Amino acid sequence: MDHGSLPIGVFDSGLGGLSVLRELVARLPGEDFLYLGDVARLPYGSKSHAAITRYALGCVDFLASRRIKALVIACNTATAMALPTLREKFPFPVYGVIEPAVARAAAATRVGKVLVLATPSTVRSEAYRREFNSRHPELKVEELACPLLVPLAEEGWFDHPLTVAVIKQYLAEVRERDYDVLVLGCTHYPFLESSFRQAVGEARVLVHSGPGVAVEVEAGLMLVQNRNRSGKAGRLRFFATDPLPQGQPIVQRWFGENVHFELVDL
Ligand code: DGL
């Protein structure tokens, strides 16, 4: 059977993963995607390893039951906690968002100092630190948990003086101030990019995972000759574990007014 026509599954704790889906669709416009936002259990960023692994398994069981040819964990927290478990359990390729962000950050830094902002669970897991240490031990890396940023993104305060102030307040805690690359280590943060830009100035490079993941997925599909060859524009289907308010700002930002989320009970 031709697996190429199957969709690619994408999931996040909520809607931040849409920043990754956007890059995937731009790079792979002929592919079908199923997006699942586990909004009922958001945020993952303050939960334990055991809980996040359980939630992630539930999300991927759902997507796998719909038949997918590959999975993208569009959430740093779930990648940090559950990537090995998901790779072990499921037969399709599983892509996380941490490896591509680390690769981009390492390529971008000139001074060898990188700051990673992420959820408390991601920082606690030390997944970024381990990935940097194993691939780029020469780099100096500092990580900082920013628990207030996910609610600001979900609220749609993308470009807002208060968001800029919150980011600046977090950055005041950084020990090494002369980093030149800032990793947005949570898929909600790209929505706040203009606030980040105002907080850190023009000179620093902002890195997020989306573009790198899209390149990896494309390369993976080519390797096993698993591209969708129908020649048609791909279809997107959206699922959520709790109803979304009408006009949710994150959804509207890049996917417009008419996106319909089907409710799933995991
Ligand atoms: N989008 C998730 C991430 O990339 C975090 C949101 C949450 O805390 O659930 O880490």
Mean pLDDT of the chain: 94
Around Cβ 131, how many Cβ atoms within 10 Å? 22
Pocket test for ligand 1, best of 11, 13, 123, 149 (most atoms within 8 A of CB): 13
Length of the chain: 266
Catalytic residue among 75, 152, 183, 184: 75
d(CA 154, CA 72): 21
Q: In this predicted structure, what is the pLDDT of residue 28? A: 96
Instruction: Dump pLDDT digits (tens) for 239-264.
Output: 999 998 887 888 888 888 788 999 99
Looking at the CA of residue 188, tell me the nearest atom of ligand 1. 1
Given a contact cutoff of 8 angstroms between Cβ atoms, the answer to whether 81 and 49 are in contact is yes
Ligand 1 site residues, Cβ closer than 6 angstroms? 12-14, 16, 42-45, 75-77, 119, 122, 150, 186-188
Give the model confidence (pLDDT) of 30-80 as tens digits.
999 999 999 999 999 999 999 999 999 999 999 999 999 999 999 999 999
* Exposed / middle / buried, residue 105 (Cβ in 10 Å: 0-12, 13-18, 19+): buried
User: What percentage of the chain reaches a pLDDT higher than 70?
Assistant: 99
Q: Residue 159: its pLDDT value, please?
A: 96
CA of 185 to the centre of ligand 1 (A): 9
Six token digits for residue 154: 């979900």
Q: Which ligand 1 atom lies nearest to the CA of residue 187?
A: 4
Distance (Å, whole) CA 213 – CA 72: 8
Model confidence at 106, in pLDDT bands (50, 70, 90)?
A: very high
17 Cα to the center of ligand 1, angstroms = 8
Q: How far is the CA of 193 from the centre of ligand 1 (A)?
A: 16
At 61, the amino acid letter reads: D
Choosing from 20, 78, 123, 186, the catalytic residue is: 186
pLDDT at 60: 98
Report the separation in Å between the CA atom of 203 and the middle of ligand 1, taken as the mean of its atom positions. 26
7-27 per-position pLDDT tens digit: 999 999 999 999 999 999 999
Q: 10-44: buried (b, 16+ CB within 10 Å) or exposed (e) per residue?
A: bbbbbbbbbbbbbbbbeebeebbbbbbbbbbbbbb
User: pLDDT grade, residue 126 (50/70/90)?
Assistant: very high
Determine which of 98-107, 115-124, 195-204, 254-263 has the lowest per-residue pLDDT on average.
254-263
Distance of alpha carbon 91 from alpha carbon 216, whole angstroms: 18
Strand partners, 142: 115
Centre of ligand 1 to C-alpha 240, Å, is 15
**Structure confidence by residue, pLDDT tens digits, 155-210:** 999 999 999 999 999 999 998 889 999 999 999 999 999 999 999 999 999 999 99
pLDDT at 2: 62
Give residues with Cβ within 8 angstroms of 210, minimum separation 6: 19, 20, 22, 23, 24, 97, 187, 190
Question: Would you report the helix, strand and coil content of the chain in percent, each value rounded to 5?
Answer: 45, 15, 40
What is the mean pLDDT of the segment spanning 117-132? 96
- Quote the pLDDT of residue 123: 97
3-state secondary structure of 212: helix
186 is annotated as an active-site residue: yes
59 is catalytic: no
The ligand 1 atom nearest the CA atom of 77: 10
pLDDT at 1: 53
Phi first, then psi, for residue 92 (nearest 5°) are: -90, 160
Helical residues (DSSP H) of the chain, grouped into ranges: 18-27, 49-65, 76-89, 98-108, 120-125, 127-135, 149-154, 161-171, 193-200, 210-223, 249-255
Q: What 3-state class would DSSP assign to 192?
A: helix
What is the pLDDT, as a whole number, of residue 22? 96
